[in-house]
Amino acid sequence: MKNKFNIKNPLTSCIRFIDSSNHSKLKIMKKVISFILLIFMSISVISAQIAKEKKDPVGQWKFEAPGAPEEYTSGTINIGFAEQKYTATMEFTGIEYIFSGENVKFKNDSLTFSFPLEDDYVSIRLKLEDKSKMSGKGSYSEGVVPLILTKSEAGTK
């Protein structure tokens, strides 16, 4: 059996001896550490992707407005996005006129806009709960009316 120590370079000999005796353990440790890092990075990427999923209000939404005057209790709100701006139009069931939203903004899952109605102004504030549900309120001079919206099939991408 050949001596594993090199008298001319004892440090190199020691490293080779330690390396040869622990080589299989080091291989296993490297694999375990690589596996743990892979899992950690995968979880990070998936979490970041889920967090980046942006809710999108664009589409046609059917609404119910319980407590509103009778002719304004239901209809549709159409939300669009063009030229880096959101647009909103509101149609009430039984009324042929389409009301155009003004100052339409969507930020932090909240959609706001207003529109003139008769001799009043209505302010709409909605919260996008998920891809097919919004809720909020409409405010006007005589009070506040709750709004419940569901995305219609025509508004689904």
Q: Where are the domains of the chain?
A: 1-53, 59-155
**What is the phi/psi pair of residue 19, to 5°?**
-65, -40
- Nearest Cα to 151, choosing from 55, 41, 11, 73? 55
SS3 content of the chain, % helix, strand, coil (to 5): 30, 45, 25
pLDDT of residue 155: 47
What is the pairing mode between strands 143-151 and 102-107? unpaired
pLDDT of residue 154: 60
Q: Which residues of the chain have pLDDT under 70?
A: 1-23, 26, 47-53, 154-157
How many Å apart are CA 155 and CA 134, to the nearest integer? 13
| Class (C level, CATH) for 59-155 | mainly beta
